[in-house]
Amino acid sequence: MLITKVEKKENKFQSALEYLFEYHGVKTAMIIDKEGLVIGCLNRDKIDSEKFSALMLLILDQANQLLTRLNELPVYSMVMKNDNSWITIQRVGDLVLVVRAAENTDELLKVRIGQAVDMVNNYVKEKYPQTTR
């Protein structure tokens, strides 16, 4: 199917995901809402995005519960690495950006994630100005 300029312009969440997904080593890029609903997802490994999104929110929730006990502010960004993956969870207002990459992906991925966060923020401000403070 051919995508027109209007359709491409209006789907900036998807553009942010594609921007991340084109980077070498990225396995999954997704945007979810605060209830775990998948707004957009690209993944190479055919993971179950609904289960994965719920687990990412559970990780954030558990970390925030522990931080509350330490009188710390809630998490807005979290990075986890193991032998297989590098997972970044980043809050973007009421949304959550999740990026899963190969563990050996270079550190420039952080720059891409930051740019994708800016893309999502700008789109939310443009499309839903009443929700931004």
- The pLDDT tens digits of the residues spanning 43-69 come to 998 899 999 999 999 999 999 999 999
What does pTM read for this prediction? 0.86
Question: Which position has the token pair 């502010």?
Answer: 73
Phi first, then psi, for residue 9 (nearest 5°) are -65, -40
Going by the DSSP 8-state scheme, the letter that residue 2 receives in this structure is P
Q: How far is CA 87 from CA 5, 21, 80, 107, 123, in A?
A: 32, 13, 5, 13, 24
* Domains present along the chain, CATH in parentheses: 5-126 (3.30.450.30)
Q: What is the pLDDT of residues 6-36, one digit of tens each?
A: 444 457 899 999 999 999 999 999 999 989 8
Contact 31, 40 (CB under 8 A): yes
Residue 116, pLDDT score: 96
